[in-house]
Amino acid sequence: MSIDAQDHDDAETLDDQDEESKNRIQAWAADWIRNPQKAYAVLGVFMGGVLLTTTLFPLYWLFAVAMAPPGQTNIPLIPTEIDLYAFVDIFQQVPFARFMFNSLFYATTVTVVVILVASLAGYAFGRLDFRGKLPLLFSLLVLSWFPPATLFLPLFRAFNQQVKMLGLFMLPAEVYGTPGAVIAPLSAFTMPLAVFILMTFYAQIPDGLEDAARVEGSTRIGALFRVIMPLSAPGVATAGILTFITVYTEFFFSFLMTGDAASEWAPIVNGVLAFQSRYTVRYDLQAAASLVAIVPVAILVVLAQDKIVSGLTQGALKE
């Protein structure tokens, strides 16, 4: 057979394969048009796989790095051996438990303060009519637009140099290096979002339920905490979760307003960075510390999902 004839046969074979592929794609498209549920199922599986890959693979890679021996740079995709000693070593080399406690203390305290204050503000904005309501809401919205970094210098001076705040009063002692230097600004920065979330939920509660509580002798504050907040459990849980995660993962203010040591109220990120010296970096310990640091947030999210669902069903039944 000549070369030209062989090329002609190969070209016909490729054309047949292309035609078969086109027919197959057209058959799939026609089947999906007739049965759109199949297309939705395939798209759902594809998107689910992409989401799981992008969210879970970084955690898996941290685990793979934690399993690698110290100093190894070529990390295999599948660990050659499972050695959990790195998760024990992070608590022996540095006081990592104290670093975690510091961040948990900041997150818990700020969340409690924000929920209490934002509940009062959300009740006032959502259920009361008073003069200046819209300007105050607009001012709160504008304040939430300011980047926190722009307020660091004035806050640093107020907490460290004891200057007069607004020219009127002075803090009784230096707050820098104490939990107050972190809790105060983070409470202010996370407050606007919580106020808007709770205001939206509180405004949806029927007035008759609050009126019934007040007829029974309850005050507005009592009706807020006994009737409105339980019925707004999904909103309260959402505001609390967002505040807790934001503060727990915050690094800028908690790093600049405290020292580097765990005893100086340094956050958990300092504990992760403690395994990096001037000449060496223990990537295995940093990866293990990062995984341990994620555990409180993961537990909170799992528990909060059940609380949000139960709050929705309880609110529907009480309605």
**Which two three-digit tokens encode residue 104?**
């948990």
Greater model confidence, 247 or 77: 247
Residue 278: CB partners within 8 Å, gap ≥ 6?
none
Dist. CA 17–CA 25, nearest whole Å:
12
Same-domain check for residues 32 and 179: no
**Which two three-digit tokens encode residue 134?**
């819209």
Dist. CA 162–CA 176, nearest whole Å:
10
Instruction: Please say which residue of 66, 83, 100 terminates a domain.
Output: 83
Return the SS3 of 111.
helix
pLDDT at 277 over 70: yes
Same-domain check for residues 170 and 303: yes
Same-domain check for residues 116 and 67: no
DSSP 8-state assignment for residue 216: T
Same-domain check for residues 138 and 269: yes
CATH number at residue 103: 1.10.3720.10
Query: Which domain range does residue 163 map to?
Result: 86-318
Q: Based on the structure, what is the number of domains in the chain?
A: 2
Same-domain check for residues 135 and 68: no
Same-domain check for residues 121 and 156: yes
pLDDT tens, residue by residue, 235-247: 888 889 889 999 9
Instruction: Please say which residue of 27, 55, 83 terminates a domain.
Output: 83
Same-domain check for residues 94 and 168: yes
- Tell me what pLDDT residue 243 has: 92
Greater model confidence, 164 or 183: 183
Q: Which helix (H) or strand (E) holds 288?
A: helix 283-318
- Tell me what pLDDT residue 102 has: 92
Dist. CA 51–CA 98, nearest whole Å:
34
Instruction: Please say which residue of 53, 83, 113 terminates a domain.
Output: 83
| Residue 308 pLDDT class (50, 70, 90 cuts) | low
Among the ranges given (151-155, 190-194, 307-311), the one the predictor scored with the smallest mean pLDDT: 307-311
pLDDT tens, residue by residue, 219-265: 888 888 888 888 888 888 888 988 999 999 888 888 888 878 878 88
Return the SS3 of 280.
coil
Same-domain check for residues 63 and 93: no
Same-domain check for residues 93 and 63: no
Greater model confidence, 6 or 129: 129
Same-domain check for residues 204 and 97: yes
pTM of the shown model: 0.79
Same-domain check for residues 141 and 58: no
Beta-ladder partners of 96: none
Same-domain check for residues 77 and 99: no
Dist. CA 197–CA 206, nearest whole Å:
17
